[in-house]
Structure 1
Amino acid sequence: MNLEQLGSVIRERRNTLSLSQENLSEKSDVAIKTIHSIELGKANPSIKTLNKILDNLGLEVIVVSRKE
């Protein structure tokens, strides 16, 4: 999943839950500017930041790594 797809998933879920970016910012303790940038696919959030946002949207991160 690329950053634009991630942002789209977050925006769609936020809208489904009838949350504004400001509401999500307050609930997740992530700056509204950061949420805005993520939704536009212009930010590459840390796992910690992403988890804060996704937890409040009822979503989770699944990380897949390759064995070397």
Structure 2
Amino acid sequence: MDLHVFGQIIREKRNALGLKQEDLSLQSGVAIKTIHSIELGKGNPAIKTIIRIFDALSLDLLIVAAKTAKK
């Protein structure tokens, strides 16, 4: 999975919902620094971190994984 594409999808969904990184941090329980790194395609986030972000954004992990695999 391309982490840059993955991060871009998260950023686009967050922006579409009108959320700041701080808002997403509060809703997901994930540190702002971690969200920032993920959106930049950096780091290696744990699956539980990804799931918490996806739950907060109402994203489906399988759909996003399929999208990133195609790009």
Sort the TM-score into its range (normalised by shorter chain).
0.7 to 0.9
Q: Cα RMSD over matched residues?
A: 1.5
Structure 1, unmatched stretches of 5+, are: none
- Which one has a larger percent helix, Structure 1 or Structure 2? 2
Question: Who wins on radius of gyration, i.e. which is larger?
Answer: 1
Q: What fraction of aligned residue pairs are identical, expressed as a percent?
A: 58
Give the TM-score normalised by the residue count of structure 1: 0.88
Structure 2, unmatched stretches of 5+, are: 67-71
The structure 1 segments of at least 4 consecutive aligned residues displaced by more than 6 Å after TM superposition are none
Give the TM-score normalised by the residue count of structure 2: 0.84
Q: Aligned residue pairs: how many? A: 64
For the residues of structure 1 that align with 2:37 and 2:17, how far apart are their CA atoms?
Answer: 19
Structure with larger RCO (C-alpha < 8 A, sep 6+): 2
